[in-house]
Structures are given as structure tokens and as C-alpha cells.
Structure 1
Amino acid sequence: MTFKTADLCDDHYDNGTIQVCEPIFGDFGGRNKFSGAIHTIHCFEDNSLVREAVAMDGKGKVLVIDGGGSLRCAMLGDLLAAKAVSNGWEGVIIHGLIRDSADIEAMDLGVKALGTLPLKSVKNNKGTHNVEVGFAGVRFTPGSFAYADEDGIILSPTALI
């Protein structure tokens, strides 16, 4: 990937077409830079829909998980991250936690999350796919685009690169 979020901000921020996420995320995947069309999941302490999503074709897509910012359980672990890699997902942005961080760091997947915790989530099949979600001071709209690197995350309604 050849983009830098700083350069994209320089080129597009003043015309109001992009949003910039608040700096609340850490980098946990093997890729520090990723981008793609947004697919969202809204769920709270239940990663059943995450399992469904990572089983889908993720080529050219970024999975955005709104876990409500819960610090009580992880929404992504090594098995689901490996499934995301095998199905071509570019990256995952999680308003929540991950586990198995050492294993995920070795994978060819971008992962931004609030932190780590070893406790897994429940699986009650609760949540929704592809609805607009908001956290980190921005709105994630399905089908819009996310760009993430070492400097942060930006969103655009259309592809910038």
C-alpha cells in the first residue's frame, strides 16, 4: 500500500470529505497499514456475528466492530483473525478488545483495537450487520472507506486511492 493517512488528510480534510478518528486505538495485527470498504457489525460482548463476518469474502474490505467499547471481554481472538486472513480481509477496527495478541501480531491482517484481555465473549447470536455505527468521534457507514496506518484512521465516503 502506498498511502499515508497524513497525506490523505493534507489532500482532503479541508474540503470536508473525510473524518478522522480520535486516537484511541492500538495496533495489534501484522499489518500496520490497511484500507478498504467498510462492513460493520454492532454487537455488545457477543462475537457471534464476528465469526459470521470473517467467514465471508473480505477482499478489499475492512471489518468494523462496534463492541460498545466494552472492556469486559475480547471480540476477536487468534482463530477468528486467522479466518479473516484466509478470507482476504484487509483489516479489523474494533471498539473493544482482542485476545491472543501475540498470535494476531504474526498474521497478515491489520487490527486496531482498544486493548487486550484474555476473556472470550459470549455467543448468543445478538447484534446487527451493516448498520451505521459511531465511536472515536466519527460515523462508520457501510460501503464507505477506511484508511489506517501508524498515524491513525481516516474515513471517506468514496475511495481516495
Structure 2
Amino acid sequence: MTAPFATCDFCDAFKADTSGDFRVLPPVFRDFGGRQVFCGPVQTVQCLDDNSRVKEAVESPGWIDTPAGRVGKVLVVDGGASLRKALLGGNLAAAAARNGWAGVLVDGCVRDVAELEQQAIGIRALASMPLPTDRRQQGVADVPVRVQGVWVRPGDWLYADRDGIVVSPRPLL
């Protein structure tokens, strides 16, 4: 279990940071999951209107083992801010929760909103869209991505609560 945190406290502590290490995502993401507060090390997927790599990721173990115990990861999906098709739905969210993921952040759309709310996982996305993707095995995993203009890299730590989402190259707790 992760210690309690507040993104506002992180922002207060790092407001003078000019290194670019501490990053704040714009307030454009809606909350869709069963958990509003989540954090963990980042794994990334970059895809456009094809959730093949998202499916592969959430069907794999969603945690890392640390000296302090098992920690759930956060999947960050750079969907190019597309509003055309949903990159995550009820079945994939259930797989993510089952496989120990702490959260999924989608720079794009999700579907099956009622099902997403039932999952014990944090889910943030731009909007809901009932149209699914076609799986064409396109996209890449584990690469630096730009989400709403902010760089997010594999291994970064993402923290999300009701006030916002922040990213750091190292754990903040």
C-alpha cells in the first residue's frame, strides 16, 4: 500500500524547480476508474486508434517488486489525444485490475464507463467514446511519450489524485 500523498503538496515542494524533472499534466483528464488516487512507476504505450499494445500491457504483470514490497505500475497511453476510438474498455480495465496495475492514464478515450467505475484501479482519460478500435498490431511500448505536451518516460513515477497528476523521474514518497 502506498503512503498517502497530495499532488498539491508535491507542487508546493517543487514549485521552484526549473530542472524539468517535476512535471504537472494539464487538467484535461476525467476520472473513470474505481480509485481516484493512485501512483506508481510508469510503463508507456504509444498508439493511435489501435489498442493492441494496450491489451498486451494490461494482460501482463502490472507491478514491480521493491525492497518495501510489491508496487503497482501506471500504464501511460499516448493515444495522440484522439477522440475517434476508445483505447481502453471494461474487459481491458478488468485485466489491468486483475494483473495488479495501479492505474491507466489514456491521452485519448475509454468506453464501458459503468464497468470502468467498478474496477479497483485508477483510470484517467480525455473522454468516453463507445466506438472500439481495430487491432492491427500497431503502436510501440516502453518509449518516451508526450502527453498533452508533457514528456513522460518509462520508469518515471506518476501520482494522481483529485487535484491533478504529477510526474517525477524518481519516487516522491
With normalisation by structure 1, the TM-score equals 0.97
Shift of 1:57: 1.0
Q: Which residue, out of 30, 36, 40, partners 2:40?
A: 36
Deviates more, 1:151-160 or 1:135-144: 135-144
**Residue number in structure 1 paired with 2:28:** 24
Q: Is the 8 A contact 1:13 1:19 kept in 2?
A: no
> Which segments of 5 or more consecutive residues in structure 1 lack a partner in the other structure?
none
Counterpart code for 2:51: N
1: CA distance, partners of 2:131 / 2:83: 10
SS in 2 for 1:93: strand
Shift of 1:56: 1.1
**Residue number in structure 2 paired with 1:131:** 143
Deviates more, 1:35-44 or 1:11-20: 11-20
RMSD: 0.9
Q: Which residue, out of 154, 160, 163, partners 1:142?
A: 154
Q: Is the 8 A contact 1:23 1:136 kept in 2?
A: no
> Which segments of 5 or more consecutive residues in structure 2 lack a partner in the other structure?
64-71
**Residue number in structure 1 paired with 2:93:** 81
Q: Which residue, out of 45, 50, 54, partners 1:50?
A: 54
Structure 1 segments, 4+ long, off by >3 Å, are: none
Counterpart code for 1:160: L
**Residue number in structure 2 paired with 1:109:** 121
Q: Percent identity at matched positions?
A: 46
